[in-house]
Amino acid sequence: MPIYEYSCQKCGHQFELLVRGRSTPACPSCTSKNLKRRWSLPSVVTPGTKAKSLKAAKKRDAAQATDRMHERLKYEESHDRHG
């Protein structure tokens, strides 16, 4: 039972769907059966892609930590003035 990617020719909605047997799928948005099956690209994990993902995650986490610290300081300053 493969999962296929489709694009609806009527409304343009793109979606994935588990297809059983030879059943004809329908668009979940408009129920049209005028669909085009799209090519799915497999995800490839190599040491290079893994390192790139980890670097991006660390950058995101550092930015979120900075944002949290700024919010905490603003909160503390507002309570110091009003407390």
> Do 34 and 46 share a domain, yes or no?
no
**Cα angle for residues 3, 35, 17 (degrees, 5° grid):** 20
Q: Can you give the length of the chain in residues?
A: 83
pTM here is 0.46
Number of Cβ atoms within 10 Å of the Cβ of 8: 21
Tokens of 72: 């905490």
Residue 82's SS3 state is helix
pLDDT digits (tens, 9 = 90+) for 22-81: 888 999 999 999 999 988 777 778 999 899 999 999 999 999 999 999 999 999 998 887
Are 55 and 33 part of one and the same domain? Answer: no
Residue 37 and residue 4 in contact, taking contact as beta carbons nearer than 8 Å = yes
Give the domain range for residue 25.
3-38
Shared domain for 31 and 54, answered yes or no, is no
In terms of domains, do 72 and 54 share one? yes
- Joined tokens for residue 81: 């003035």
Are residues 62 and 34 located together in one domain of the fold?
no
Same domain, 11 and 27: yes
Q: Give residue 23's Cα distance to chain centre.
A: 28
Split into its structural domains, the chain has a count of: 2
